[in-house]
Amino acid sequence: MSSFTTPQDWTGPSSDSVDEQLGDVVTGTTVDDAGEFDAVLVGEPYDGGVVSREGAAEGPTTLRESLAAVKSHHFDAGPLRDIGDVGDVAIPDGSVATVQHAVREAAASVHDSDALPVFLGGDNSLTFANVAPLLEDASVGVVNFDAHLDVREFGERPTSGTPYRQLYDAGLDGYACVGARHFETSSAYHDFVRERDGEIVTAEEVADDPLQAVDRALSALDGVDRLYCSVDIDVLDAPYCGSSAPTPGGLTPRELFRLVRLVASDDRLAGFEVVECAPPLDTDGRTVDAAARTIAHFLAGWNA
């Protein structure tokens, strides 16, 4: 089994004794004991597969710091509870493929528990490793909140642009991208997804009708047994987006929060991730804070 670092000690920074924060709720644990929790955080500090600018390796640590200060209460779902943290996956030296193999083993061990895995990226190349274990015993579909389709061909090595091409090759049964941007992908990659009956919902269509956007994505995945939700933080509009590839015309944080809550309410959910959050590329922590709250909103929707 792949090794994990020791989880951090969690505590909420507020001095108000009744001001409960996620730092007061999350508890460090081990993979063996992960089943005692409803959901567990799994850090993946790696950015060796990024196509452009690095920085996502610092995501897990900074996301935890931001999460610790997030209040635990959601007005509709109530307070978040029963969240564990198994620490970070120990990332080996070597190629992207070597890292994917190691992370895949680690992800499989978390999927084998009764807890919902919440992966803290790290770059998008590890999406393949996080989802691949699910393909071994069920039909699987992915809802991908992303500016890009990430189905690039891979030659010498996988990258953050290839995970869904790899997953299709491994037997992925369904794919829906929500928040895709015009002029951010090639016709060949658009055609690749469409030829496999994948769904593409643009950022403009999300703005027009968020409920219909989610309905289209989930309807495209009606036939799968298990559902995985991935958030590449570059789905957010550029002013909110400290990532390797920010672009204008994306979602607002409020739109993303609502969308992930809706997807999280699907009872087929088998995993969730936030990837490509790169603190060194952030401005005033706005992307990290938006990503941390995206995780909280997802957990609220899942617990509702």
Lowest mean pLDDT across 40-49, 93-102, 210-219, 231-240:
231-240
Query: φ, ψ for residue 254 (rounded to 5)?
Result: -60, -40
Identify the pLDDT of residue 238: 79
Identify the pLDDT of residue 200: 98
Lowest mean pLDDT across 32-36, 48-52, 92-96, 172-176:
48-52
Summary mean pLDDT of the chain:
95
Identify the pLDDT of residue 243: 66
How large is the average pLDDT for residues 174-190? 95
Let me know: does 150 contact 163? Beta carbons within 8 Å: yes
CA 279 to chain centre: 16
Query: Would you tell me which CATH number, out of the four given (3.90.1150.10, 1.20.810.10, 3.40.800.10, 3.40.50.720), belongs to the domain 22-303?
Result: 3.40.800.10
Count how many residues are written for the chain. Answer: 304
Q: Pick the residue with more confidence: 245 or 279? A: 279
Retrieve residue 134's tokens.
Answer: 């699910």
Distance set, CA 269 to CA 81, 142, 157, 168, 228 (Å):
18, 10, 30, 19, 6
Identify the pLDDT of residue 67: 98
Q: What is the pLDDT of residues 246-289, one digit of tens each?
A: 778 899 999 999 999 999 999 999 999 999 999 998 888 999 99
Q: How confident is the model at residue 303 (pLDDT cuts 50, 70, 90)?
A: confident
Residues 6+ apart with CB under 8 A from 202: 179, 180, 181, 182
Q: What is the pLDDT of residues 81-95, one digit of tens each?
A: 999 999 999 999 999
Identify the pLDDT of residue 244: 65
Identify the pLDDT of residue 1: 47
Most confident range (mean pLDDT) of 2-6, 11-15, 247-251 is 11-15
Identify the pLDDT of residue 242: 59
Q: What is the pLDDT of residues 197-227, one digit of tens each?
A: 999 999 999 999 999 999 999 999 999 999 9
In this prediction the pTM is 0.96
Calculate Rg over the CA atoms of the chain: 17
How large is the average pLDDT for residues 14-31? 96
Identify the pLDDT of residue 82: 97
DSSP secondary structure, the chain, as one string: ---BPPPPPP------TT--BGGGT-EE--STTGGGSSEEEEEE---TT-SS---GGGHHHHHHHHHHTSBSEETTTEE---EEEEEEB-PPSS-HHHHHHHHHHHHHHHHTSSSEEEEEES-GGGHHHHHGGGGGTS-EEEEEE-SS------SSS--TT-HHHHHHHHT--EEEEEEE-TTSS-HHHHHHHHHTT-EEEEHHHHHH-HHHHHHHHHHTTTT-SEEEEEEEGGGB-GGG--SSS--SS-B-HHHHHHHHHHHHT-TTEEEEEEE---GGG-STTHHHHHHHHHHHHHHHHHH-
Let me know: does 192 contact 151? Beta carbons within 8 Å: yes
In single-letter form, the type of residue at position 93 comes to: D
Domain ranges of the chain: 22-303
Provide the 10 A C-beta neighbour count for residue 71: 16
Identify the pLDDT of residue 51: 84
- CA 93 – CA 240 distance, rounded (Å): 32
In single-letter form, the type of residue at position 50 comes to: V
Distance set, CA 184 to CA 73, 84, 104, 214 (Å):
37, 37, 29, 21
- CA 39 – CA 82 distance, rounded (Å): 7
